[in-house]
């Protein structure tokens, strides 16, 4: 479980940082207080995405496992 939490936290930092930077730069441009706006947006999105990754992640993993279940069985044969 610790590995899943660590993964969620690291992946959350990377993805929210990249996406919030890209969207803010596209929507408002590099204004004078860009860094403050970006850091505020990044921190808010990070707080939202960690629980989402932890709650939704296992369901997505099960869906992917189900989709590729037959493929994995065929590869072994």
The pLDDT value recorded for residue 6 is 87
Q: Which residue has the tokens 């065929």?
A: 74
Q: Tell me the angle at which helices 2-27 and 34-76 cross, rounded to the nearest 10 degrees.
A: 130
Give residue 11's pLDDT: 87
Query: Does the structure show a pLDDT above 80 at 71?
Result: no
> Quick check: 45 and 20 in contact, CB under 8 A?
yes
Task: Summarize pLDDT for 10-59 with one digit per residue, the tens.
Answer: 988 999 999 999 999 999 999 999 999 999 999 999 999 888 888 898 89
Q: Residue 18: which domain range? A: 2-76
Q: How many domains does the chain have?
A: 1
């Amino acid at each position: 479980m610790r590995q899943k939490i660590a993964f969620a936290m690291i992946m959350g930092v990377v993805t929210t940082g990249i996406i919030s930077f890209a969207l803010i730069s596209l929507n408002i441009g590099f204004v004078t207080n860009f860094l403050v706006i970006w850091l505020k947006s990044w921190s808010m999105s990070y707080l939202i995405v960690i629980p989402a990754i932890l709650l939704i992640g296992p369901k997505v993993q099960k869906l992917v496992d189900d989709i590729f279940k037959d493929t994995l069985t065929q590869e072994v044969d």
